[in-house]
Amino acid sequence: MEREEYKRKAIHICMGLWAFFPLVVTRYSALFICLIFLLLVLFVFREHRWKAAFDAMARQEDYTHGYLMGPLIYILSVMVCVGFYPPYIAAASFAIMAFGDGFATIVGRNVGRHKYPFSEKSIEGTAGFIACSFLSTLVVLMILTHYITFTGLKSTAPGYLGTIALLGCVCGALVETLPFEKSRGGSIVRRAIIDDNFFVPVLSGLIMTIFVIS
């Protein structure tokens, strides 16, 4: 695994700090912050001006539309999760995306030997995704529920929180194995949406939300 890829994944994992947003801001404040960053990415942080600053977290393909696609995809997924899911579920979704996807690549590139027939991802990478995302997501949920009382959350017992985390992590791991790069279209919308960094948190959050409201 190349040094540049380690840098990208280190930044990706550090984005997991977003999982603690309920401790510092409300849902509407978080959405407002995301909106500001969205506007910055669309109109200020353009590829031709800011490419060097974002090279550590982007691949060459991320510049094909003239926008910094990595930050754009991340912001869009955060906005969907914060806007539609309970705050603790949104937080769990960010942890799954950051830690799961980040460590899946590191594990898969270094020890992945058993590839899926439909993609370049490996079983070892999926195992790393589930293990790392489950532990981090459970820790995030336990910390958040220790300091905040969330409306609608039935229990804060470790077993219940662990079930939420496990469901989201397994869903995220399965989604992450899909070959999104084979289905991306030419438009910026399809490039932004058809990506594991968008679908992993959004679908994981959906599964966890269905579980907690059922």
Mean pLDDT of 183-202: 79
Q: What is the pTM of this model?
A: 0.87
- Coil, strand or helix: which one is 115? strand
On the question of pLDDT at 208 being above 80, the answer is yes
Q: How far is CA 77 from CA 1, 2, 38, 99, 183, in A?
A: 27, 27, 11, 15, 18
Q: How far is CA 68 from CA 44, 48, 97, 109, 124, in A?
A: 10, 10, 19, 25, 30
Q: What is the pLDDT of residue 101?
A: 84
Residues 6+ apart with CB under 8 A from 159: none
The tens digit of pLDDT for each residue in 78-91 reads 999 999 999 999 99
Q: Which amino acid is at 45?
A: F
Q: Which amino acid is at 24?
A: V
E strand or H helix at 67? none
Distance (Å, rounded) from C-alpha 22 to C-alpha 206?
18
Q: What is the pLDDT of residue 118?
A: 86
